[in-house]
Each structure stands twice: as C-alpha cells, then as structure tokens.
Homo-oligomer: A and B are copies of this chain.
Amino acid sequence: MGSSADPLSSFFGKPLAVVNVGLAAFAESMEEQNIAVVDVDWQPPPADVPRLVRTKSGVMIDEANAEAVRRIMSGRPAIVGLGVARDVIPGMTDNMILHAGPPITWERMCGPTRGAVMGALVYEGLAETPEDSAAMVERGEIVFDPCHHHHAVGPMAGVVSPSMPVWIVENLEYGNRAYCTLNEGLGKVLRYGAYGEEVYKRLHWMADDLYPTLADAVELSGPIDLRGMIAQALHMGDECHNRNRAGTSLLLRALGPSLARTCADQERLAQVIEFIDKNDHFFLNLSMPAGKAMLEPAERIEGSTIITVMARNGTDFGIRLAGDPDRWFIAPAGVVEGLYLPGFTAEDANPDIGDSTITETAGFGGFAMAAAPAIASFIGGTAQDAINTTREMYEICFAEHEHFSIPALEFRGTPVGMDVRLIRETGILPKLNTGIAHKTPGIGMVGAGVLRAPEQCFIDAFEAVKSW
C-alpha cells in the first residue's frame, strides 16, 4: 500500500521527466527508478531534400498551403440527413461497388475487400452465396470505384453497395457534401471482410429499422454540428479514429430528443439506442465524412503541397495533394503493429486498409492521439507514446488547428495539414492508428494497432511537385 515515489522524485518533491539523448542504458537506469524517460532516437534529416518555395508556374507554395489549411479549418461539417447510396452518392450506379483506398482491380484486391464485396452482393440480393458473388465479379458484371472518387469514405474495406444507407454530411461553410455508411460495430462485420447470415441480418436491420429512425430524427433536429462534436470528443479522451466512445456518446445525446419525438415505436427506439450504445465506434462513420467534407474545399488550390487524401485498399496505400487532387501517389500498404483479439496473431493480419486515415489527414485521429491516452488499451503502446506521436506530427504539418485542441498539451491546436515537403525534409512519416482485418475473406476483425505510412508515395509526390 502507501504511495510509491521513487527516491529521486521524492528528493525533488515532484516526479521527474527526463529526456535522454545518447546511450540507451542511461534511459534504462532511469526507467528502473520509475522515472519517465523520453529516449530520443535522433538522426539527421535526408541531406538531399531541397526546400521547395515556389512552383515553376510562380506560385508561392507557403501561400497556397496557408489558403489550403485556412479552408480546411474553417469547414463546418454537419449531419444534414441520411439517404440510400444509389439515390444520394454522385455517380453511384446499380452495378457499382465503392471501396476504400486508391483504385484497384478484383485481381489485386486483398482478402478483406474481396470478402466485403462478396458479402455486399449477397446482401444486395444480386448473388445467392459469396461464391456466386465472386463469379459475378469475374464475369465483369460489377464496376469498382474508390469511395474517394465519389465524395465518400469507407472504414476498412470501405465497401458501399447501392442499397446501403449512408450519412449525408455537408460542409455548411462551403456547401460540399460527403458520404459514409453507418457503422456496424466490431468483430464479424462486413467492413472487416466478414460475410454470412449474422452479417446480412445486421445490415438488413440497419437499413430497415436503424436508418429510417435516424433519418426521421435528423429531419426534425436539423443540421447536427460535427465540428463541435469532434472538438468536444477530443477533450473527452477520443482521437476520433480508433477511439470514439465520447463522440458516440455525444451523438446519442444530440439525437436523443428528436429520436424520442419522432419514433413512436418504443421497442424500435430502444433497439436503436441499444445498438448505438453497444458500439463505441458508431461515431467513426461520422468523424470520417466530417474530415472528408473539411478537406475537399482545399482541393485544386494551385501549388498547394498539402495532402488532402490518404487512404488504403489493403493492397496499396495512396495519397493525393491539394494542388493536383486527381492524381494518386501509391506505395504498397504497410504492416500494422498491434494488439490481437484472442485466437489471432500477426500471421492472420491483412496489410493496412481503409479510408479512415482521412481523420489524420484532417488533423485528428492518430495525429491527435495525445488527446486519447486511454487508446493504449485498444491499439497498444503507452500514454507517453500517444503524446510523443502528436508532438512528432507537428513537425510534418503546416498548421495547428484553430478549432481542435488537446487539453493535455495546454489546449494546443492539433497538427493539421500534412505538407509533403515537411515529410521529405524531416524524414518523418505520418503515424497512423488502425483496426486490423483478417487477410482471408469472410472472417473479420483480428486486432488494432499503429504503423507509419510508406515512404515511397511521399517521395513520388514530392518529385511531382518539383515539376509543377
């Protein structure tokens, strides 16, 4: 019992924090005395990276980037309604399936994306079995397109099929809209590549009961401010990517009164509340389109080297720049270092997957991890790792967010606006946190963890900027 102070901290009357640059053994000796140590793995930046100041066409890049982050930060994303994908997502057709990440063919698709496509076609009633789905795809009857090509974002496999209900998020400042499906929960769910009766049944309940109930409530309530909700959630231990317990709670509080006023079926209302309450990730599918809606107004600013898209399809990792938003820069998707659910190991893991890195791109998610020390219990690592991650990401971001702040860093704004120049100059790669899907179609979630974005796509993007 009794409080356990280390002798050195007792002497000082306060706990010590130590920064160690040099021999790791010294840090270990401090750690043995229970003193917090940040061990600095310092290395010189790549020597051959020039500072890009002005494009060949004469645009001052700093000015372009300042305008880009101004637009990103001034965005006001709000839930304005729900709809069915085929009715509301621009360019969506009856034989189209959207997926996360950069474009990809069926042949190169990873297991979980294949699994989600196979499940979605059964859910749609277009195929009888997952095997029939695969046959349909192989006969060329299905068109694939990235969510990002349709103002949409999808977590993990990110599969959106025509009859799925989606959130409609509008950036009230700029008028652009973004779309995302409703979150199914964790475990054996379509977005992690799972299929089967349990998955279809849940998706049908979501379309038949959850969707109309939420749609009626939002129609009565009017626009629901998501920027404010994310800002609050960041003060409540979420980073709004892999920790959304606060966001989910705040959403339920915001929807509660209009849910009560619009849903006369007491049992259905109770089930809707229970479904949301039992899924702390429910808000993810709102923080993502909120991020997308905030980022799109920065696209097509000539000369801006800010990254407006960062997404993975489980095979490839891709980014797009504000100054040239139609071009993907692609590298192989990375391997996630993480915590695994009982019965699974790193052997089962598919490479990095999903559009959810839109959160980091928009200045929260992994970049705001210092706001969410409790995330360590989901993705591994320590609270100090979370603080260090955010501090490091400031080095590759062009700005600090005016509306999203981190109490533990004395309310410093979150790092926002990844600048491909800073990534190259510092040699620091974006750090992401993510769920982990099983590599085999049909299984689902196996864990969660962290990783760095792959370097090659930033090298290629930087080279491309030189030619602007």
Contacts and interface: CB of A to CB of B under 8 A. Distances in A.
Contacts of A261: 266-267, 270
Contacts of A408: 373, 383, 408
A391 B256 contact: no
A274 to B, nearest CB: 5
A339 to B, nearest CB: 15
A138 B172 CA distance: 60
Interface size class of A (residues with CB under 8 A): 35 or more
Can you tell how many copies of this chain the complex includes? Answer: 2
Interface stretch (A47-55, A174-182, A243-251): A243-251
B388 A14 contact: yes
Contact of A237 (B253, B267, B383, B407): B407
Nearest to A18: B17
The interface centre, meaning the residue of A1, A21, A62, A269 with most chain B CB atoms within 10 A of its CB, is A1
Interface in A240-274: 245-246, 249-250, 252-254, 256-258, 260-261, 263-264, 266-267, 269-271, 273-274
Interface string A399-439: 11000000111110001000000000000000000000000
A397 B238 CA distance: 30
Contacts of A15: 391
Contact of A374 (B69, B235, B250, B254): B235
**8 interchain residue pairs of minimum CB distance:** A249-B249, A373-B407, A3-B394, A260-B270, A256-B273, A374-B407, A235-B374, A17-B17
13 contacts: A1-B65, A5-B394, A12-B19, A14-B391, A236-B237, A236-B245, A237-B237, A254-B277, A257-B273, A257-B277, A264-B266, A373-B407, A382-B410
